[in-house]
Amino acid sequence: MPIYEYKCEVCQAQSSVLVKSYTSSKKPSCPKCKSKKMTKLLSTFAHHKTVQDFQESSLPVSESGSPEFFGDPRNIGRGLEDTYKRVGAEIPEAVQQEIKDAREGYIPPEVEI
């Protein structure tokens, strides 16, 4: 169900309207003045970064050093990934899986304290 943004042509109030289907022909009314003279606005949209986007935009591991950097689970394994990349080697599948698991909060039983 999409949410559309509208602007009232009478009182200039803007509002968001949840529409039950894309093909709905029901016209929204202004919640402020109840006018049916509403103009659909171009809504903004969110752009989500992937882990790779985030990592590429943040400091290299060698320059990080801050507790915040190491406290962010998206940075777990970055040093290892950077090393493999620097030497031009492929990260083994098992290592990739361990990094992925660690970023998601899973700690293997043999490592738990």
pLDDT tens for 31-80 read 999 999 999 887 666 666 776 676 666 655 555 566 666 667 777 788 88
Same domain? For 73 and 35 the reply is no
Give residue 37's pLDDT: 93
Over residues 70-93, the mean pLDDT reads 83
Give residue 85's pLDDT: 87
Same domain? For 33 and 75 the reply is no
| ∠ CA 38-40-46, rounded to 5° | 140
Give residue 11's pLDDT: 94
Same domain? For 57 and 17 the reply is no
Residue 108, pLDDT > 90, answer no
Q: CB of 46 within 8 A of CB of 56?
A: no
Do the domain assignments include residue 89?
A: yes
DSSP designation for 36: S
**Residue range of the domain that includes 11:** 3-21+28-40
User: How high does pLDDT run on average in the chain?
Assistant: 78
